[in-house]
Amino acid sequence: MQPLDPTYFGDIDPPQRLLMGPGPVNAHPRVLRAMAADLLGQFDPEMTGFMNQVMALYRPVFGTQNQWTMLIDGTARAAIEASLVSLVEPGDTVLVVNFGRFGLLLTEILNRLGAKIETVSAPWGEVVPLEAIAEAIERVGPKVVATVHGDTSTTMAQPLEGLGALCQAAGAYLYVDACATLGGMEIAADRWGVDIVTGGLQKCLGGPSGSGPITVSDRAATRIFARRHVEQGIRRADIVDGAGPRIPSNYFDLAMIMDYWSDKRLNHHTEATSMLYAARECARVALGEGLDARFARHRKAGAAMTAGARALGLTVYGDDAYRMTNVTGVYIPEGIDSEAVRTMMREHFEIEIGTAFGPLQGKIWRLGAMGYNAMKHKVLLTLGALEACLKAQGFSLPLGEAVPAALAAWEAA
Protein backbone atom coordinates (compact mmCIF):
# COMPACT_ATOMS: atom_id res chain seq x y z
CA MET A 1 0.00 0.00 0.00
CA GLN A 2 1.39 3.37 -1.01
CA PRO A 3 1.85 5.87 1.84
CA LEU A 4 -0.62 8.72 1.81
CA ASP A 5 0.80 11.99 0.54
CA PRO A 6 0.79 14.24 3.67
CA THR A 7 -0.25 17.20 1.50
CA TYR A 8 -3.26 15.33 0.11
CA PHE A 9 -5.77 17.12 2.34
CA GLY A 10 -3.86 20.36 2.62
CA ASP A 11 -3.21 22.43 5.74
CA ILE A 12 -6.04 23.21 8.11
CA ASP A 13 -6.92 26.77 7.13
CA PRO A 14 -10.54 27.43 8.10
CA PRO A 15 -12.31 30.57 6.93
CA GLN A 16 -12.33 33.45 9.40
CA ARG A 17 -16.02 33.24 10.15
CA LEU A 18 -17.81 35.38 12.69
CA LEU A 19 -19.82 32.90 14.76
CA MET A 20 -22.97 34.74 15.82
CA GLY A 21 -25.16 31.78 16.61
CA PRO A 22 -25.98 30.12 19.96
CA GLY A 23 -22.45 28.71 20.34
CA PRO A 24 -19.74 27.87 19.81
CA VAL A 25 -18.39 31.37 19.28
CA ASN A 26 -14.98 32.65 18.24
CA ALA A 27 -12.36 31.99 20.90
CA HIS A 28 -10.47 34.90 22.40
CA PRO A 29 -6.98 35.20 20.84
CA ARG A 30 -5.39 34.99 24.28
CA VAL A 31 -7.07 31.62 24.81
CA LEU A 32 -5.80 30.30 21.48
CA ARG A 33 -2.30 31.47 22.32
CA ALA A 34 -2.44 29.77 25.71
CA MET A 35 -3.36 26.48 24.04
CA ALA A 36 -0.10 26.59 22.05
CA ALA A 37 2.04 26.42 25.22
CA ASP A 38 4.26 23.37 25.81
CA LEU A 39 2.77 20.26 27.39
CA LEU A 40 3.78 19.11 30.87
CA GLY A 41 3.60 15.80 32.68
CA GLN A 42 0.43 15.49 34.70
CA PHE A 43 2.23 15.44 38.07
CA ASP A 44 4.89 18.00 37.23
CA PRO A 45 4.78 20.59 40.05
CA GLU A 46 4.24 23.29 37.41
CA MET A 47 1.25 21.38 36.06
CA THR A 48 -0.37 20.71 39.43
CA GLY A 49 0.26 24.37 40.22
CA PHE A 50 -1.74 25.32 37.13
CA MET A 51 -4.52 22.99 38.29
CA ASN A 52 -4.64 24.77 41.65
CA GLN A 53 -4.72 28.12 39.85
CA VAL A 54 -7.68 26.97 37.77
CA MET A 55 -9.56 26.04 40.94
CA ALA A 56 -8.91 29.50 42.41
CA LEU A 57 -9.79 31.33 39.18
CA TYR A 58 -13.15 29.61 38.71
CA ARG A 59 -14.46 30.18 42.23
CA PRO A 60 -15.41 33.82 41.55
CA VAL A 61 -16.67 32.89 38.08
CA PHE A 62 -19.12 30.47 39.73
CA GLY A 63 -19.83 32.81 42.64
CA THR A 64 -18.61 30.30 45.21
CA GLN A 65 -16.06 29.48 47.88
CA ASN A 66 -16.37 25.74 47.15
CA GLN A 67 -13.13 23.81 47.51
CA TRP A 68 -14.25 21.43 44.77
CA THR A 69 -14.13 23.84 41.83
CA MET A 70 -12.27 22.28 38.90
CA LEU A 71 -12.58 20.95 35.34
CA ILE A 72 -14.09 17.87 33.76
CA ASP A 73 -12.18 16.74 30.67
CA GLY A 74 -14.78 16.72 27.91
CA THR A 75 -17.42 19.03 26.53
CA ALA A 76 -20.03 20.72 28.70
CA ARG A 77 -22.15 17.60 28.40
CA ALA A 78 -19.37 15.58 30.05
CA ALA A 79 -19.64 17.82 33.10
CA ILE A 80 -23.42 17.39 33.13
CA GLU A 81 -23.15 13.62 32.97
CA ALA A 82 -20.37 13.46 35.60
CA SER A 83 -22.58 15.46 37.97
CA LEU A 84 -25.70 13.39 37.53
CA VAL A 85 -24.04 9.97 37.44
CA SER A 86 -22.14 10.79 40.65
CA LEU A 87 -24.94 12.50 42.57
CA VAL A 88 -27.97 10.42 41.59
CA GLU A 89 -28.34 6.84 42.78
CA PRO A 90 -30.56 4.30 40.96
CA GLY A 91 -34.15 4.70 42.09
CA ASP A 92 -33.71 8.28 43.36
CA THR A 93 -36.54 10.64 42.54
CA VAL A 94 -35.25 13.57 40.51
CA LEU A 95 -37.35 16.61 39.68
CA VAL A 96 -36.35 18.14 36.35
CA VAL A 97 -37.28 21.76 35.64
CA ASN A 98 -37.98 21.54 31.93
CA PHE A 99 -38.42 24.49 29.58
CA GLY A 100 -36.48 23.47 26.47
CA ARG A 101 -34.22 21.00 24.72
CA PHE A 102 -31.62 20.88 27.45
CA GLY A 103 -34.14 20.16 30.19
CA LEU A 104 -35.10 17.20 28.04
CA LEU A 105 -31.39 16.27 27.87
CA LEU A 106 -31.26 16.10 31.68
CA THR A 107 -34.26 13.76 31.54
CA GLU A 108 -32.52 11.62 28.92
CA ILE A 109 -29.37 11.23 31.01
CA LEU A 110 -31.31 10.55 34.21
CA ASN A 111 -33.44 7.93 32.49
CA ARG A 112 -30.28 6.04 31.54
CA LEU A 113 -29.16 6.21 35.19
CA GLY A 114 -32.31 4.49 36.43
CA ALA A 115 -33.66 7.53 38.26
CA LYS A 116 -37.35 8.02 38.92
CA ILE A 117 -38.00 11.19 36.94
CA GLU A 118 -40.62 13.81 37.69
CA THR A 119 -40.89 17.03 35.70
CA VAL A 120 -42.28 20.49 36.19
CA SER A 121 -42.50 22.16 32.80
CA ALA A 122 -43.21 25.38 30.96
CA PRO A 123 -43.99 25.82 27.25
CA TRP A 124 -40.96 26.62 25.11
CA GLY A 125 -40.40 30.37 25.22
CA GLU A 126 -41.39 30.64 28.90
CA VAL A 127 -39.80 29.71 32.23
CA VAL A 128 -41.17 27.71 35.16
CA PRO A 129 -42.52 29.88 38.02
CA LEU A 130 -40.82 29.31 41.38
CA GLU A 131 -44.24 28.60 42.91
CA ALA A 132 -44.76 25.72 40.48
CA ILE A 133 -41.35 24.27 41.36
CA ALA A 134 -42.11 24.62 45.09
CA GLU A 135 -45.40 22.77 44.63
CA ALA A 136 -43.70 20.00 42.67
CA ILE A 137 -40.97 19.61 45.31
CA GLU A 138 -43.60 19.26 48.02
CA ARG A 139 -45.61 16.82 45.91
CA VAL A 140 -42.85 14.42 44.77
CA GLY A 141 -40.20 14.73 47.51
CA PRO A 142 -37.16 14.58 45.20
CA LYS A 143 -33.64 13.64 46.22
CA VAL A 144 -32.28 15.93 43.49
CA VAL A 145 -33.71 18.90 41.59
CA ALA A 146 -32.06 19.49 38.21
CA THR A 147 -32.44 22.50 35.95
CA VAL A 148 -30.79 24.44 33.16
CA HIS A 149 -30.04 28.11 33.82
CA GLY A 150 -30.06 29.45 30.26
CA ASP A 151 -31.47 27.15 27.59
CA THR A 152 -30.17 28.24 24.17
CA SER A 153 -32.85 26.19 22.42
CA THR A 154 -35.51 28.62 23.66
CA THR A 155 -33.25 31.62 24.58
CA MET A 156 -34.86 31.72 28.04
CA ALA A 157 -33.05 32.03 31.40
CA GLN A 158 -34.68 30.31 34.38
CA PRO A 159 -34.66 32.48 37.55
CA LEU A 160 -32.82 30.62 40.32
CA GLU A 161 -33.00 32.97 43.31
CA GLY A 162 -34.76 31.10 46.13
CA LEU A 163 -34.63 27.67 44.52
CA GLY A 164 -31.70 26.44 46.62
CA ALA A 165 -33.51 27.30 49.83
CA LEU A 166 -36.54 25.30 48.68
CA CYS A 167 -34.33 22.31 47.92
CA GLN A 168 -32.44 22.46 51.20
CA ALA A 169 -35.69 22.72 53.19
CA ALA A 170 -36.87 19.55 51.42
CA GLY A 171 -33.55 17.72 51.91
CA ALA A 172 -32.87 17.75 48.18
CA TYR A 173 -29.70 18.55 46.23
CA LEU A 174 -29.80 21.17 43.48
CA TYR A 175 -27.95 20.72 40.18
CA VAL A 176 -27.72 23.56 37.59
CA ASP A 177 -26.43 23.38 34.01
CA ALA A 178 -24.99 26.85 33.33
CA CYS A 179 -23.15 25.96 30.12
CA ALA A 180 -24.75 28.76 28.11
CA THR A 181 -24.51 31.53 30.72
CA LEU A 182 -21.31 31.01 32.72
CA GLY A 183 -19.17 34.09 32.23
CA GLY A 184 -21.97 36.09 30.60
CA MET A 185 -24.74 36.20 33.18
CA GLU A 186 -24.32 36.12 36.94
CA ILE A 187 -23.88 32.68 38.46
CA ALA A 188 -24.18 32.85 42.26
CA ALA A 189 -23.72 29.24 43.36
CA ASP A 190 -23.32 30.05 47.05
CA ARG A 191 -26.03 32.72 47.29
CA TRP A 192 -28.48 30.57 45.34
CA GLY A 193 -27.64 27.48 47.40
CA VAL A 194 -26.76 25.30 44.41
CA ASP A 195 -24.95 22.03 45.13
CA ILE A 196 -23.41 21.47 41.70
CA VAL A 197 -23.07 23.91 38.81
CA THR A 198 -21.45 22.99 35.50
CA GLY A 199 -20.47 25.03 32.47
CA GLY A 200 -18.57 25.03 29.20
CA LEU A 201 -15.98 27.24 27.59
CA GLN A 202 -17.45 27.66 24.12
CA LYS A 203 -20.11 30.24 24.84
CA CYS A 204 -19.80 33.27 27.14
CA LEU A 205 -16.30 32.30 28.33
CA GLY A 206 -14.94 32.66 24.79
CA GLY A 207 -12.99 29.42 24.52
CA PRO A 208 -13.14 26.16 22.58
CA SER A 209 -15.43 23.30 23.42
CA GLY A 210 -13.72 20.48 25.28
CA SER A 211 -13.50 21.39 28.97
CA GLY A 212 -16.33 21.54 31.49
CA PRO A 213 -15.83 23.78 34.54
CA ILE A 214 -17.66 22.48 37.62
CA THR A 215 -18.18 23.45 41.24
CA VAL A 216 -19.40 21.04 43.92
CA SER A 217 -20.61 22.04 47.39
CA ASP A 218 -19.23 20.32 50.48
CA ARG A 219 -22.70 18.91 51.05
CA ALA A 220 -22.77 17.26 47.63
CA ALA A 221 -19.13 16.18 47.94
CA THR A 222 -19.99 14.25 51.11
CA ARG A 223 -22.68 12.34 49.24
CA ILE A 224 -20.36 11.68 46.31
CA PHE A 225 -17.43 10.52 48.47
CA ALA A 226 -19.82 8.10 50.19
CA ARG A 227 -19.98 6.37 46.78
CA ARG A 228 -16.20 6.34 46.24
CA HIS A 229 -14.89 3.00 44.92
CA VAL A 230 -11.35 3.46 43.65
CA GLU A 231 -10.44 1.24 40.70
CA GLN A 232 -8.20 -1.69 41.51
CA GLY A 233 -5.08 -0.60 39.66
CA ILE A 234 -4.78 2.70 41.53
CA ARG A 235 -5.90 1.73 45.04
CA ARG A 236 -4.01 3.40 47.88
CA ALA A 237 -4.05 3.05 51.65
CA ASP A 238 -4.83 6.75 52.15
CA ILE A 239 -8.01 6.65 50.05
CA VAL A 240 -10.87 4.69 51.59
CA ASP A 241 -13.91 3.46 49.69
CA GLY A 242 -17.34 4.66 50.70
CA ALA A 243 -20.24 2.49 51.81
CA GLY A 244 -22.65 3.73 49.15
CA PRO A 245 -23.38 2.23 45.73
CA ARG A 246 -20.53 2.54 43.25
CA ILE A 247 -20.77 5.36 40.73
CA PRO A 248 -21.56 3.47 37.51
CA SER A 249 -19.17 5.42 35.26
CA ASN A 250 -15.41 5.18 35.66
CA TYR A 251 -14.49 8.19 33.53
CA PHE A 252 -17.19 10.42 35.03
CA ASP A 253 -16.65 9.27 38.64
CA LEU A 254 -16.51 12.58 40.49
CA ALA A 255 -15.18 10.95 43.66
CA MET A 256 -12.03 9.82 41.84
CA ILE A 257 -11.82 13.05 39.82
CA MET A 258 -11.97 15.13 43.00
CA ASP A 259 -9.22 12.99 44.51
CA TYR A 260 -7.20 13.67 41.35
CA TRP A 261 -7.64 17.44 41.80
CA SER A 262 -6.89 17.25 45.54
CA ASP A 263 -3.52 16.99 47.23
CA LYS A 264 -3.93 13.21 46.93
CA ARG A 265 -3.35 13.52 43.13
CA LEU A 266 -5.00 10.17 42.46
CA ASN A 267 -3.91 9.00 39.01
CA HIS A 268 -7.43 8.79 37.60
CA HIS A 269 -6.72 10.02 34.07
CA THR A 270 -4.31 12.28 32.21
CA GLU A 271 -5.47 15.86 32.43
CA ALA A 272 -6.14 17.48 29.04
CA THR A 273 -3.27 19.93 29.36
CA SER A 274 -4.01 22.25 26.44
CA MET A 275 -7.67 22.48 27.45
CA LEU A 276 -6.63 23.29 31.01
CA TYR A 277 -4.50 26.12 29.62
CA ALA A 278 -7.54 27.31 27.64
CA ALA A 279 -9.85 27.17 30.64
CA ARG A 280 -7.32 28.98 32.79
CA GLU A 281 -7.01 31.79 30.24
CA CYS A 282 -10.79 32.04 29.78
CA ALA A 283 -11.15 32.71 33.50
CA ARG A 284 -8.21 35.16 33.51
CA VAL A 285 -9.79 37.13 30.66
CA ALA A 286 -13.18 37.20 32.41
CA LEU A 287 -11.80 38.25 35.79
CA GLY A 288 -9.45 40.78 34.19
CA GLU A 289 -12.40 42.47 32.53
CA GLY A 290 -14.38 42.35 35.77
CA LEU A 291 -17.46 40.15 36.06
CA ASP A 292 -19.91 43.04 36.53
CA ALA A 293 -18.51 44.78 33.45
CA ARG A 294 -18.65 41.54 31.52
CA PHE A 295 -22.28 40.92 32.45
CA ALA A 296 -23.11 44.50 31.44
CA ARG A 297 -21.40 44.00 28.07
CA HIS A 298 -23.51 40.90 27.42
CA ARG A 299 -26.67 42.80 28.42
CA LYS A 300 -25.80 45.56 25.97
CA ALA A 301 -25.07 43.09 23.18
CA GLY A 302 -28.32 41.22 23.75
CA ALA A 303 -30.37 44.40 23.93
CA ALA A 304 -28.75 45.72 20.75
CA MET A 305 -29.34 42.47 18.86
CA THR A 306 -32.97 42.35 19.96
CA ALA A 307 -33.66 45.98 19.10
CA GLY A 308 -31.94 45.65 15.74
CA ALA A 309 -33.92 42.54 14.87
CA ARG A 310 -37.18 44.30 15.67
CA ALA A 311 -36.11 47.27 13.56
CA LEU A 312 -35.66 44.86 10.65
CA GLY A 313 -39.35 43.98 10.98
CA LEU A 314 -38.64 40.60 12.58
CA THR A 315 -40.69 39.19 15.45
CA VAL A 316 -38.61 38.26 18.48
CA TYR A 317 -39.34 34.88 20.04
CA GLY A 318 -40.11 34.25 23.71
CA ASP A 319 -40.75 36.22 26.88
CA ASP A 320 -38.77 39.47 27.05
CA ALA A 321 -38.75 39.36 30.86
CA TYR A 322 -36.70 36.15 30.95
CA ARG A 323 -34.58 36.38 27.82
CA MET A 324 -30.94 35.29 28.01
CA THR A 325 -28.64 38.24 27.43
CA ASN A 326 -26.47 36.33 24.94
CA VAL A 327 -28.93 34.65 22.53
CA THR A 328 -31.94 36.17 20.74
CA GLY A 329 -34.50 34.10 18.86
CA VAL A 330 -36.33 35.63 15.89
CA TYR A 331 -39.10 34.14 13.81
CA ILE A 332 -38.18 33.35 10.21
CA PRO A 333 -40.48 35.52 8.06
CA GLU A 334 -43.17 33.66 6.16
CA GLY A 335 -42.11 32.84 2.62
CA ILE A 336 -38.40 33.31 3.32
CA ASP A 337 -36.03 30.41 2.69
CA SER A 338 -34.21 30.06 5.99
CA GLU A 339 -31.22 28.16 4.64
CA ALA A 340 -30.83 30.50 1.67
CA VAL A 341 -30.45 33.42 4.09
CA ARG A 342 -27.99 31.51 6.30
CA THR A 343 -26.00 30.47 3.22
CA MET A 344 -25.81 34.07 2.00
CA MET A 345 -24.74 35.22 5.44
CA ARG A 346 -21.97 32.64 5.45
CA GLU A 347 -20.79 32.91 1.84
CA HIS A 348 -21.00 36.68 1.35
CA PHE A 349 -20.29 37.98 4.84
CA GLU A 350 -18.53 35.04 6.60
CA ILE A 351 -21.11 35.23 9.39
CA GLU A 352 -22.87 32.22 10.89
CA ILE A 353 -26.26 32.44 12.61
CA GLY A 354 -28.07 29.51 14.18
CA THR A 355 -31.13 27.45 13.40
CA ALA A 356 -33.25 25.72 16.04
CA PHE A 357 -34.28 22.33 17.45
CA GLY A 358 -37.44 20.32 18.02
CA PRO A 359 -40.72 22.24 17.76
CA LEU A 360 -38.82 25.40 16.76
CA GLN A 361 -36.88 23.81 13.91
CA GLY A 362 -37.46 25.82 10.75
CA LYS A 363 -39.37 28.46 12.69
CA ILE A 364 -36.72 30.64 14.30
CA TRP A 365 -33.14 31.77 13.85
CA ARG A 366 -30.97 32.19 16.93
CA LEU A 367 -28.66 35.20 16.94
CA GLY A 368 -25.88 34.98 19.50
CA ALA A 369 -23.60 37.69 20.89
CA MET A 370 -21.44 36.25 23.65
CA GLY A 371 -17.90 36.00 24.94
CA TYR A 372 -15.40 37.48 22.50
CA ASN A 373 -18.29 38.22 20.11
CA ALA A 374 -20.41 40.28 22.52
CA MET A 375 -19.05 43.45 20.97
CA LYS A 376 -20.87 46.42 19.50
CA HIS A 377 -19.30 46.24 16.05
CA LYS A 378 -19.91 42.50 15.71
CA VAL A 379 -23.60 42.94 16.53
CA LEU A 380 -23.86 45.79 14.00
CA LEU A 381 -22.07 43.78 11.30
CA THR A 382 -24.44 40.86 11.86
CA LEU A 383 -27.54 43.04 11.65
CA GLY A 384 -26.28 44.83 8.55
CA ALA A 385 -25.54 41.53 6.83
CA LEU A 386 -28.90 40.07 7.83
CA GLU A 387 -30.66 43.13 6.42
CA ALA A 388 -28.91 42.70 3.07
CA CYS A 389 -29.65 38.97 2.91
CA LEU A 390 -33.31 39.40 3.84
CA LYS A 391 -33.72 42.07 1.19
CA ALA A 392 -32.05 39.83 -1.40
CA GLN A 393 -34.59 37.12 -0.55
CA GLY A 394 -37.49 39.50 -1.17
CA PHE A 395 -38.38 40.43 2.40
CA SER A 396 -39.87 43.91 2.63
CA LEU A 397 -38.14 45.76 5.46
CA PRO A 398 -37.31 49.32 6.51
CA LEU A 399 -33.79 49.78 5.17
CA GLY A 400 -31.16 51.38 7.37
CA GLU A 401 -33.14 51.17 10.60
CA ALA A 402 -31.53 48.18 12.31
CA VAL A 403 -28.07 49.60 13.03
CA PRO A 404 -29.29 52.91 14.56
CA ALA A 405 -31.80 50.98 16.69
CA ALA A 406 -29.08 48.63 17.88
CA LEU A 407 -26.73 51.50 18.69
CA ALA A 408 -29.40 53.24 20.73
CA ALA A 409 -30.19 50.03 22.62
CA TRP A 410 -26.51 49.39 23.33
CA GLU A 411 -26.10 52.82 24.87
CA ALA A 412 -29.33 52.55 26.89
CA ALA A 413 -28.77 49.05 28.32
Residues 282 and 370: their CA atoms lie apart, in Å, by 13
DSSP letter string, 38-107: PP--TT-HHHHHHHHHHHHHHHHHHT---SEEEEEES-HHHHHHHHHHHHPPTT-EEEEEESSHHHHHHH
Mapping DSSP to helix (H, G, I), strand (E, B) and coil, where does residue 231 land?
A: coil
Pairing of strands 196-198, 211-216: antiparallel
Residues 282 and 35: their CA atoms lie apart, in Å, by 11
> Looking at 287-369, which runs of residues are DSSP E strands?
327-331, 351-352, 364-368
Decide if 255 contacts 247 (C-beta within 8 A).
Answer: yes
Cα distances (Å, whole numbers) of residue 249 to 70, 124, 197, 200, 396: 19, 32, 19, 21, 55
Cα distances (Å, whole numbers) of residue 104 to 95, 109, 153, 166, 372: 12, 9, 11, 22, 29
Distance of CA 261 to the CA centre of its chain: 22
Decide if 378 contacts 20 (C-beta within 8 A).
Answer: yes
Decide if 296 contacts 204 (C-beta within 8 A).
Answer: no
Residue 366 annotated in ligand binding: yes
Residues 135 and 147: their CA atoms lie apart, in Å, by 16
Q: Return binding residues for substrate.
A: 366
Q: Which residues fall in the annotated binding site?
A: 366
